[in-house]
A and B are shown apart, each in its own frame.
Chain A
């Protein structure tokens, strides 16, 4: 029996290595979150759906709320404190991340970036180690901002589950596409489950926030239907 890819697995389920291997042998297998190798077996640690991606990546996709930092993740954080030449940023992990004031585009010792406590930053994880404090940066390796930095000018920040955030980040995400057909808005989604949205006016922003939250347990058809109804209702509210 092949491994039940796309189906539900439960903690305690186990597969042999042979079950996971694709027909062409000798390939390496990478076990992602929720799976663990134990002797010759592979054990499931989380309840969720078993996923597979070529060439040999397996992981368990499940409902999750607590963020565990991993290197290279794009996250949305809230600046919590200024300590010397560092900012402490809450990214939802067990420890606060540190952000140097030099890791902004165009920042020098003279030219400090304008960041206040309570600001929202969109940043990338540079260091994520289980024994160390995570460190985030707002520049890429070329020293450019590439979309990262402080998020300003209104909008609203809300928290979702991590799998919903991942769903939104999928390029084929139906929700964002069908919302984009009807509204003009800016959105930044961090894999830590924080989402910032800003639409033309506050009514639209509130509608978008609630739509995203409500879409969590809906399938694509339901999402399309919902977006249609929302845009209708919002346009009428704006007329009033």
Chain B
């Protein structure tokens, strides 16, 4: 059952990062007000997740396991992710200024996004190989982007609705997320 396609589909639809694992909620509620921001944020997260998964998977499989220091993975992962985000930011700034301007402030914010650390820990927990890790990160990132886009489209419309005063803003966003999560539970029987 651990084929690449199963991992990918599972990460996008069934174990969706936002709706069923509750990872990356802060950026989710922060930037899901406008569609254009949602696309930029989703792209940035997916990119960093894939790169971080490659790096941490290599470190885990070829350094931590042979030397039997798997318990050090939390400290090492968070440092690797922080460093990677910096490097990615510099590289994008030098090579593709259009993309850099589009991603803007979202890149540095990603270090503390629990979805990135989450995907690397899930990879380690399931003992995924390098290729499996990349696929799971890609699936997770795309799932994150998908929900971000759906959510921002709904919230743009919701701005015009007459919401009770105490429900405005975050509470109604949580209710929308709950309905989305309910809808996505329908994918549970897919695999």
Chains A and B come from one and the same complex: no
